[in-house]
Amino acid sequence: MDKTRTIQRPATVRDFAEHKRKGEKIVVMTAYDALFGRLVDESGVDAILVGDSVGTAVMGYPSTLPVTLDHMIYHASAVRRGVERALVIIDMPFLSYQASVESAVLNCGRAIQETGVAAVKVEGGSPYMLDTVNALVRTGIPVMAHIGFTPQSVNTIGGPRVQGREEEGAERLIGEAKGLEEAGAFSIVLELVPARVSARITAAVGVPTIGIGAGPECDGQVLVLPDVLGLNDTFEPKFLKRYAEMARDVRSALGDWARDVRSGAYPDAEHSF
Ligand code: KIV
């Protein structure tokens, strides 16, 4: 186990508040299956988000909109089976929580019940979403909120655009974050938000902010696993830093193996019975 992880027992949502209180950065990574769930957990991250980014990163969809609750339950159950210590959070997909507060409670409850994960993430900070978050928390479902660029609203936003560049937009985001904290969210993802605005939001709320493309002042950071590992090597947004070049390594390893099979070099005596 990575000794840089500050908590060695299984994490809970309460640890997020404790990390913020102590000024410790919170490390969140996505995962979509048991194999990578285990590896990400063993790397020592604090939390694993089973993001609906599975739609674009793994399933080959052009956006997260086609991802269903059944898809998310399948992937989150797999991740949960691979993880021992990190907090696992399921991202609720498009249409699973927006239609009514009641459907949100039932769908989020089903997600928790069927996957065994500890918390849900939902997008948006409108007054309607504050009621939804409040109802979920009252039901006993911890909620990670998500504001700034919210990918499930890509068609109304018109693309992955930085949010809150102008003062009016920045004020709106600060108001949403305060409302979400009051509604009971245990943390707030800030996506594609200028660093100076993230700093203001982070100072304005008591719950941790987790940034993606939101600068260094957030209380923690989240990135999408295949992007960080360089598996998705055609995706190169400004905020992304790659820590491996796995697409190159996969192509090269499988190319070597194919060559060996074709030449008869594999399997040799050592790898035969
Ligand atoms: O779906 C996802 O992976 C996310 C993160 C990028 C925050 O929402």
Which one of the listed residues 18, 167, 191, 245 is annotated catalytic? 191
Task: Collapse the DSSP code of 259 into the 3-class scheme (helix H, G, I; strand E, B; otherwise coil) and give the result.
Answer: helix
Which residue's C-alpha comes closest to atom 3 of ligand 1? 51
pLDDT reading at 67 higher than 60: yes
Residue 3 has pLDDT above 90, yes or no: no
Q: What is the pLDDT of residue 7?
A: 73
Does residue 209 line the site of ligand 1, with CB under 6 A?
no
> What pLDDT does 188 receive?
98
The verdict on whether 245 is a catalytic residue reads no
Q: How many CB atoms lie within 10 A of CB 148?
A: 29
Nearest CA to ligand 1 atom 5: 51
Span 204-212, average pLDDT: 98
Residue 228, pLDDT > 70, answer yes
Residues of the chain with CATH 3.20.20.60: 13-242
- Tell if the pTM clears 0.75, that is, is over it: yes
pLDDT at 218 > cutoff 70: yes
30 CB near ligand 1 (under 6 Å): yes
Q: Measured between alpha carbons, how far is 175 from 6 in angstroms, rounded to an integer? A: 32
Answer yes or no: CATH 3.20.20.150 is held by domain 13-242: no
% of the chain with per-residue pLDDT over 90 = 96
Distance CA 24, CA 231 (A): 29
